Amino acid sequence: MSSWPHAPSKRVTEPGSYIVTAATYKKQHFFRSEARLAYLQDQLFEIALETGWELQAWALFSNHYQFAGFTENKNGIHELTSKLHGLSVNPPQRTR
């Protein structure tokens, strides 16, 4: 191995197992309330099913999330994260 980059390339397009971590803009606590955190979880699960992901572990926090899972789809990471981030921009105010 000739070099090890500080951060891996964002060109991750192959099927396989992945661990994904993402943070909110400027690490602001957009999902501080129980309702907003529940919304984020609901969206993650729904989009994972819709895009063919098999989630194996996840952790959701007020300003970031992590999940481990498997996808058989090319561009699976991009598909899941772009849909999740697009839907989570303005989470609704709801109670659970």
pTM of the model: 0.80
Determine, yes or no, domain membership for 30.
yes
What is the full per-residue pLDDT of the chain (96 aa) written as tens digits?
456 566 666 567 889 999 999 998 899 999 999 999 999 999 999 999 999 999 999 999 999 999 999 999 999 999 999 999 887 666 666 544
pLDDT score of 6: 63
Domain range for 51 is 24-87
Determine, yes or no, domain membership for 5.
no
pLDDT score of 58: 97
Determine, yes or no, domain membership for 12.
no
Cα 61 to Cα 83: distance, rounded to the nearest angstrom: 18
pLDDT score of 90: 63
User: In 33-94, where does DSSP find H-type helix?
Assistant: 34-50, 76-87
Determine, yes or no, domain membership for 2.
no
Point out which residues pair with 20 in neighbouring strands.
67
Determine, yes or no, domain membership for 95.
no
Determine, yes or no, domain membership for 19.
no
Task: Judge contact between 71 and 18, C-beta under 8 A.
Answer: yes
Determine, yes or no, domain membership for 17.
no
Determine, yes or no, domain membership for 66.
yes
Domain count, the chain: 1
